[in-house]
Amino acid sequence: MSKTLLHLNGLTKTYPGVIANDDVSFDIAAGEIHALLGENGAGKSTLVKMIYGLVRPDHGTMQMEGVSFVPAEPRAARAVGVAMVFQHFSLFEALSVAENIALGMENPPKANALSARITEVSQSYGLPLDPERLVGDLSAGERQRVEIIRCLLQEPKLLIMDEPTSVLTPQEVTTLFTTLRKLKDEGTSILYISHKLEEIRALCETATILRGGKKVATCDPREKSARDLAEMMVGGKLNLAESKETTLGEVVLEISDLSLPPQSAFGTSLRNISLRLHRGEILGIGGVAGNGQDELLACMSGEVSTTAEAIQLNGLSLGHMSPNERRTLGVLAAPEERLGHAAAPDMSLTENAMLTAMTRKSLSKSGFLDWPRAKDFAEQVIKKFDVRTPGPQSAARSLSGGNLQKFVIGREVLQDPSVLIVNQPTWGVDAAAAADIRQALLDLAAKGASVIVISQDLDELMEISTSFAALNAGRLSAARPMAELSLDEIGLLLGGADAAA
């Protein structure tokens, strides 16, 4: 039995109105890969922030190698050998890899020595990096490497990883796992936070499951089935969206050879994208963030102009049309960023309804706005999609992520589109709201509309799409019916194989 590295005893943390962690206790052994499982809001982030010194527990103690451990700030945690790779990277795009790593270290060595160390360490762990490259030029997977190498250079005893695979292709996941196993063999412990059950069963030897702030169990995930783990995480059954059998109708939307140069210094270009969308179809476009998803949505919504013929709706060229011209034709979109893009954070829900529904819901007459009508529409959306908010006068920023996303998607769905494109429709949304949103998309397609769902969540795509294509470095693979594809094939597609030339 290897000795205990970190001992957590009765950790409790409350915020106004919610108990984030309730008497959580477990141990992490040296050289162990320990999973921390739970749904959104289960308390994983708070627990980990306490370990890393970002938050002070209200009650409870921690011990590192038998010595009392009360970090006042991350620096104290790092001094004791705890390192953390966050889900959202703290990187500076215009600075080089070496400069980024230097910024994350307490006492970095001088420039030449640091570059040499980076090259050496990154090679030996199978995550090669060029120290002089600008971080802005790196892919999401490579950027994660920068974060990991930054941690490894401090020779940590405990490496905490928060949802590390959300930005990786299946092949990159395999590489990461090899690296983590190597670290484990060298005696480093890993606390691996995730909600991806198959990965945890493949990688981790111990798992602690949190639900509603409490620890539900600590077990060996290899001995449990994914279903068992899921039931412990969720504590009940969720309504899985029911897809109805749909027959694909005629081609409604055709994208031919859509190309776009990069829109910003570190943007992605689009290369010869072609697809055909049928009536009643849900096309799932998978791909890790940063491969052109935002650019593709902007081309579809009209925020970016393309050659007219590149996008055709029932034979009508609309690539050059403005967003509102497209809305008149029935082409609607919901971008990824809900606060600041899909909705204006400081404006009320009524005003946000006016934002996109002006044309299709006749909210404007010769330039003058009909606010009472807009308010009615906002109330309709709130009611139909169960948006929890005091009323349509609330500012968009006052809504929780899930509720705002329901409003944003609901606003488009209730405008009766012929074509709807959504980008990451359930990102950061709680499970119940996510299920409602997916059901709404399925119902929309069942009524005869066509939907494109761009998403990083393969489970989601496999659940609701009729066909699948992968977006990689700006290229789109040929769409194939979902029923024909296996997870391996999907992984290859995401990695760039079989992309349309």
Indicate the residue among 342 and 442 with the shorter CB distance to other proteins: 342
Output the CA–CA distances (angstroms, integers) from residue 495 to 171, 305, 389, in the order listed: 7, 28, 41
Residue nearer to other proteins on the CB measure, 288 or 333: 333
Least distance to other proteins, CB of residue 375, Å: 14
Q: Which of 75, 181, 383, 388 binds other proteins (CB under 8 A)?
A: 75
Judged by beta carbon, residue 236 or residue 368, the one nearer other proteins is 368
Query: What are the start-end ranges of the H helices in 163-320?
Result: 170-185, 197-203, 226-234, 293-301
Q: Which is nearer to other proteins, 29 or 95 (CB)?
A: 95
Q: Determine, following the binding rule CB under 8 A, whether residue 94 of this chain makes contact with other proteins.
A: yes
Tell me if 495 contacts other proteins by CB under 8 A.
Answer: no
| Closer to other proteins by Cβ: residue 128 or 340 | 340
Nearer to other proteins, 92 or 182 (CB): 92
The DSSP output letter for 145 is H
Find the binding residues for other proteins in span 106-125 (CB under 8 A).
108
Site residues for other proteins, 170-189, by CB under 8 A, read none
Instruction: Give the strand pairing for 59-64 and 4-15.
Output: antiparallel
Rounded CA-CA distance 313/91 in Å is: 41
State how far the Cα of 97 lies from the Cα of 138, in Å rounded to an integer: 9
For other proteins, the binding residue among 79, 93, 124, 128 (CB under 8 A) is: 93
Taking the complex as a whole, how short is the minimal distance between the CB of residue 323 and other proteins, in angstroms? 4
Contact status: 475 vs other proteins (CB under 8 A)? no
The partner residues of 397 in beta bridges, in order of sequence, read: none
- Residue from 59, 66, 92, 186 touching other proteins (CB under 8 A): that is 92
Q: For 59-116, list the strands marked E by DSSP.
A: 59-64, 67-68, 82-85
Q: Contact with other proteins (CB under 8 A): which of 74, 290, 495, 496?
A: 74
Nearer to other proteins, 359 or 439 (CB): 359
The footprint of other proteins on residues 9-48 (CB under 8 A) is 46
Least Å distance, CB 464 to other proteins, is 24
As given in the structure block, the two tokens for residue 453 are 């769902």
**Cα separation, 71 vs 307, whole angstroms:** 57
Asked whether the beta carbons of 293 and 464 are under 8 A apart, the reply is no
93 versus 132: smaller Cβ distance to other proteins: 93
Out of 113, 238, 265, 432, the residue judged to bind other proteins by CB under 8 A: 265
Determine whether 463 is exposed, middle or buried from the number of CB atoms within 10 Å of its CB (0-12, 13-18, 19+): middle
d(CA 303, CA 355) in angstroms, rounded, equals 14
**3-state secondary structure (DSSP) of residue 302:** coil
302 is a site residue for other proteins (CB under 8 A) = yes
Identify the residue among 22, 80, 86, 212 touching other proteins (CB under 8 A): 86
DSSP 26: E
**Shortest Cβ 86–other proteins spacing (Å):** 7
Which listed residue (33, 55, 160, 499) binds other proteins by CB under 8 A?
55
Q: Which two tokens stand for residue 212?
A: 């509603």
Helix axes 431-446, 401-413, angle to 10 degrees: 10
Q: Is the dihedral of CA 162, 165, 167, 172 positive or negative?
A: positive
Phi, psi angles (nearest 5°) of residue 207: -140, 135
User: Which CB, 223 or 368, lies closer to other proteins?
Assistant: 368
372 contact partners, CB below 8 Å, separation of at least 6:
none
Could you tell me which stretch among 193-201, 268-276, 297-305, 311-319 binds other proteins (CB under 8 A)? 297-305
Here's the x/- map for other proteins, 321-360, by CB under 8 A: it reads as -xxx--x-----x-x-x--xxxxxxxx---x--xxx-x--
Minimum distance of other proteins from residue 332's CB (angstroms): 11
DSSP 3-state assignment of 453? Answer: strand
> Rounded to the nearest 5°, which phi and psi values hold at 184?
-60, -45
Q: How many residues bind other proteins (CB under 8 A)?
A: 55
Query: Can you say whether the dihedral through the CA atoms of 104, 107, 111, 114 is positive or negative?
Result: negative
Residues lying near other proteins in the complex (CB under 8 A): 46, 49, 54-56, 72-75, 86, 89-95, 99, 102-104, 108, 265, 301-303, 322-324, 327, 333, 335, 337, 340-347, 351, 354-356, 358, 364, 367-369, 371, 394-395, 397-398
